[in-house]
Structure 1
Amino acid sequence: MIDLESRQRLKNRPQMLFFDRVAPTGARPALGSASDGQDYWVKFAQNDQGSETVVNEVVASIVGDSIGAPVAPWAIVEVPLGLKQILDGRLIVPGPAFGSRVIHLAEENRMPQGIPHVLSDGNINRIPLMVAMWELCNALDIQAVFYNGDDRKIYSIDHGFWFGSYPYPWKLSEKSMFPQIDHVPMPSREIPDDCWKQAEIALEGLNDEVIGRAVEIVPKEWGHEESEIERLVEFAIGRKDNARNQLRRFRKEVGK
């Protein structure tokens, strides 16, 4: 059964009103404003990294949401036919697309020296949930933003290369070895035991109901079979023990 929040996502897709520019990155997302008053970085199914990347974005976000991980706000947005254009050499494609809401006053960080701002604005609770999400979805090219307007609150962004997609997009209909995570940043400060334990408990939010939620939300227009979407969520569910072990390892090691 699909939950109320998912029904709202399906019923009320924000309509893009205009686009300003295109980012010079692999998927070449476009920055624009939508009918809900928000700005979004919009990733299209037609991109040089493959349509798998937008499916990964949606499924990883749904998995993260199911356990309460700090995923950056997102939506399936609708690009009307009237916005079809070539902007900065990129074709703006009408139809549904993945929109990651712009968090103004935020700074991107790949955390090469570990996760900073651990003691800022609830991050001691948010970081363990993010660690769990990384493990569940086999995160690669891990990135986060820190919201400067709210004392450095952390959010996970850019999940296109998760589920074993890096360095080349994998075909969802084909077998994949799901290569292991190559780098998981450690928190730079000690996090209380209870925060790690609560993240373990939160893993129970990832269950079979999430499979149906993902199947409903991933736009059919992107051309992927339901079985492909199911496979991604089932993979994440199958990694719950890995996530528990990772949380326990971090709990022991952080602060030594």
Structure 2
Amino acid sequence: MGDDVDYSLRTTWFGLLAAGNYVRPQPQAQVVAAFKVAKDSGCKPFLGLASNGKTYWIKHRNNDHGVQSLMVERVAAAVGLMLDAPLCPVELVFIPDAIAGDPLLSGMGVAPGTAHGSEAVDDAIEKMELVHTRDDGNRFRQPRFIALWELFAGEDPQWLYSRQDDYQVWSFDHGFWVSGGEMGDWGGDELERTVEFWSPWNGNVRQMDPATFLIVAESVASLSVEDLLAAVATVPVSWGIPDDDLESLAWWLYSRRRHISDRMKALSGVASLNGR
């Protein structure tokens, strides 16, 4: 990656995944049992036990929100790790034919093969508001989530709060991020039109840690070409998403990072005033 390359141009990113020889992931666990379906959710994930002993909410590639939603889930999780954001751990899991044909999943069109799993949080309650800020370190966790939300043009706010861990907050279900759920089967050309579509956090930042906003502002600004290519390379080849679309998403995030960094600095100031 040369310093004299103009990475502000989306076409500059084309071919970088292949040139970087990124190792694309394969599922490391297999679904061995399905328990229930979240029928009130648009993409209807199901709760399943994997061969690694963990339980996941599983989205298959034929879900009603499209395979692009799985791409966003994977990339948001990868960038979230870079920002130390409080996202539920994720895993690629393999759905065998026997599970895809389970009567519990009848009529859902579950596709065998590689799927996205979001680790279930035990004894959690779901809320549509970012609250419990003073509980279990959430005042440090929530600013990092907000940075990720703004970077990915967050949509469909929802959080889990672990009752057994003093209401520690976790973010999940990010499939509508980037597109707002409006673009259907979208690709790089659509991202060109939405790169300056902002989703500013309008919620209360009172009691959140101002210093954490500054720390995550620096982390967002420091996201490199290599970082973002590594993030999109976490999307498995078997989902059939073209490299140009993955590279376009990396470009989209790279183009937004400075603005979001400035936003986090501004929110640090708001948090400081609200904390008085």
Q: Which TM class, normalised by the smaller chain length?
A: 0.7 to 0.9
Distance 1:150 1:161 in 2: 28
Q: 2-side partners of 1:81 and 1:133: how far apart?
A: 35
Separation in structure 1 between the aligned mates of residue 257 and residue 183 of structure 2, nearest angstrom:
25
> What percent identity do the matched residue pairs reach?
28
Deviates more, 1:166-175 or 1:150-159: 166-175
Please state whether the residue corresponding to 2:122 is helix, strand or coil: coil
Q: Could you tell me which of 144, 148, 164 is aligned with 1:129?
A: 144
Q: 2:163 aligns with which of 119, 123, 148?
A: 148
Partner of residue 184 from structure 2, selected from 169, 174, 197? 169
What is the rounded CA distance, in whole Å, between the counterparts of 1:29 and 1:207 in structure 2? 33
Offset, 1:39:
0.6
TM-score normalised by L of structure 2: 0.81
Alignment match, 1:225: 242
Please give the alpha-carbon distance, in whole angstroms, between the structure 1 residues aligned to 2:228 and 2:213: 25
Number of the residue aligned with 2:116: 98
| TM-score where L is the length of structure 1 | 0.87
Within the alignment, does 1:202 sit opposite 2:237 as a pair?
A: no
Query: For residues 30 and 180 of structure 1, what CA distance do their matches in structure 2 show?
Result: 31
The reply on whether 1:212 has 2:235 as its aligned counterpart is no
After superposition, residues 236-255 of structure 1 pair within 5 angstroms as 236-254=253-271, 255=274
**1:182: Cα distance to partner?**
7.0
Query: In structure 1, the residue corresponding to 2:169 is in which secondary structure?
Result: strand
Structure 2 partner of 1:62: 78
| CA-to-aligned-CA distance 1:78-97 (integer Å, 9 cap, x gap) | 11233221515213321100
Q: Report the CA distance shift for 1:191/1:35 in structure 2 as closer, same or farther (over 3 A).
A: same
Q: Which amino acid aligns with 1:63?
A: V
Partner Cα distance (1:88, 1:82) in 2: 12
CA distance in 1, matches of 2:233, 2:182: 28
Give the distance between the partners of 1:98 and 1:230, measured in 2 at CA.
Answer: 20
Give runs of aligned pairs for residues 30-109 of structure 1, distance below 5 A: 30-85=46-101, 86=103, 87-109=105-127
Q: Which amino acid aligns with 2:207?
A: E
Partner of 2:208: 191
- Runs of 5+ consecutive residues of structure 2 not aligned to the other structure: 1-16
Distance 2:214 2:198 in 1: 24
Q: Deviations over 1:124-171 (max 9, x none)?
A: 211111111011111111222111111111111110011124234241
Aligned residues: 248
Mean Cα deviation higher: 20-29 or 85-94: 85-94
Q: Distance in 2 between matches of 1:90 and 1:225?
A: 26
Maintained 8 Å contact 1:67/1:205? no
Q: Which moved more, 1:199-208 or 1:12-21?
A: 199-208
- Residues 79-88 or 42-51, more deviating: 79-88
Aligned residue for 2:233, secondary structure, equals helix
Question: Residue 38 of structure 2 aligns with which residue?
Answer: 23
**66-75 or 195-204: bigger deviation:** 195-204
CA contact (8 A) 1:22 1:90 kept: no
Deviation at 1:11, TM superposition (A): 5.8
Deviation at 1:204, TM superposition (A): 4.9
Closer/same/farther in 2, CA of residues 184 and 143 from structure 1, 3 Å limit: farther
Q: Distance in 2 between matches of 1:144 and 1:166?
A: 18
User: Which amino acid in 1 is paired with 2:155?
Assistant: L
Q: Which ranges in structure 1 are unaligned for 5 or more consecutive residues? A: none
Alpha carbons 1:161, 1:169 under 8 Å: kept = no
Give the secondary-structure state (helix, strand or coil) at the position aligned to 1:120.
coil
Kept in 2, the 8 Å contact 1:64–1:133? The answer is yes
Question: Does structure 1 conserve the Cα–Cα contact (< 8 Å) formed by 2:232 and 2:250?
Answer: no
Letter paired with 2:43: A
Q: Return the letter of the residue paired with 1:171.
A: W
